[in-house]
Amino acid sequence: MSPTKRALRGGIDLGGTKIQAVVVDSEWNVVGQSRRPTPTKGGPEDVARQMSEALQEAAKEAGTDSDELRAVGVGSPGDVNTAAGTVSQARNLPGWDGTFELGPWLSDALGTPVAVGNDVGVATEAEAKLGAGKPYDSLIGVFWGTGVGGGIVLNGEPWHGRGAAGEIGHMVIKKDGAQCTCGRHGCMEAYAGRAAMEIKARKEHEDGTKTDLFKIMEKHGRDRLTSGIWGRALKAKDPLATHLIDRAVEALGAGIASAVNLLDVEAVIIGGGLGVRFGDPYVQRIAEAMKPHLFTDDNPPAMHVAALGDFGGAIGAALLSESHKVGSAKKGR
């Protein structure tokens, strides 16, 4: 093996709608990338196989093979045990109600050590170290996508609480409100998460509300309302899509402002599939929607779109492969 190749690392971001893989050099520049849809059927092994193939494709683009990489990091939804590399209860993924040894499985498939961390946690750390959060010591990352994930950095250090901190999507913004995909009621994610919005849109559509959302979905050969489908429907001024996204923005404003009231962080970084796609105009709208709920409304936090963009989660995952001693007995959740 050549020493230059050994300096390369891999990162895989496992999202609810897509799997993204990158290979980065020692300066964290992306030298290979690949993406594919997250399987909607099957089980954890089918998902893991797609992850492995995506990473191998990214490695090929970087002129190397996966077993030549120094290490690979994975950002995964669900309950992640970093020590064992296992992922449990990733409910937005097919057949993933139990526990799967994702790290060991991928390590076998890729021929290199694999570290697994929480997807939102790694994306927040990436933004704090390399992206829009660089100028700040304390920030929260809000990842507006299939769900609404959150990550917290306080005084330059990630805050994990007892292991489950940052679940900003489950801030209750309306007591006894809409049912959330977590089974509880009134969570911010029940109004703003892509999965929850899709459930609501399908129900409204079945009840006779006129919308082109599903026509656009079929036209683009999709079987779910991806961020791109929402974007197209908004552009076409579809009334239901507009209404549901307006409702999501209001929910994000209330939930994020509440988190800021508690932590008084310097900045809020908005990422995720919807956050990155809608970009700055929507970050400004969310900032407006926060105002009525902010205690220090004369001193709001800085608001930014995630600077590492769509591949930020995968770059963060690659960062994880450095900060975590891969395969060590470090205590995780």
**Residue ranges that bind Zn ion, judged by CB under 5 A:** 170, 180, 182, 184, 187
CB of 95 to Zn ion, least distance (A): 21
Q: What minimum distance in Å lies between the beta carbon of 258 and Zn ion?
A: 14
In the block, which residue shows the tokens 């999202």?
Answer: 15
Alpha-helical segments (H) within 207-311: 213-219, 227-235, 239-263, 272-290
Residues 63, 53 contacting (CB under 8 angstroms):
no
Which residues in 1-59 belong to E strands, given as ranges?
9-14, 18-24, 30-37
Q: Choose between 173 and 276: whose C-beta lies nearer to Zn ion.
A: 173
Closest to Zn ion by CB, 170 vs 324, is: 170
Q: Identify which of residues 140 and 180 has a Cβ nearer to Zn ion in the complex.
A: 180
The residue with tokens 């994975």 is 74
Encoded amino acid at 168, one letter: I
CA distance 186 to 183: 10
CB of 196 to Zn ion, least distance (A): 9
Q: How far is the CB of 179 from Zn ion (least distance, A)?
A: 9
Closest distance of CB 254 from Zn ion, Å: 14
Question: At its nearest, how many Å lie between Zn ion and the CB of residue 94?
Answer: 20
CB of 316 to Zn ion, least distance (A): 23
CB contact at 8 A, 145 and 227: yes
CA distances from 78 to 11, 121, 178, 265, 311 (A): 18, 12, 22, 26, 20
Compare residues 192 and 319 and give the one whose CB is closer to Zn ion: 192
34 or 181: whose CB is closer to Zn ion? 181
Nearest-CA neighbor of 256 among 171, 317, 318, 195?
171
CB nearer to Zn ion: give 143 or 311: 143
The minimum distance between CB 255 and Zn ion, in angstroms, equals 11
Residues 133 and 141: beta-carbon distance below 8 Å: yes
What is the token pair recorded at 149?
């994930």
Between 110 and 180, CB nearer to Zn ion: 180
Residues in the chain: 333
Q: With respect to Zn ion, which residue has the nearer C-beta, 255 or 313?
A: 255
Rounded to the nearest 10 degrees, the angle between the axes of helix 227-235 and helix 272-290 is: 50
Dihedrals phi, psi of 236, to nearest 5 degrees:
-80, 5
For 129, phi then psi, to 5°, come to: -85, -35
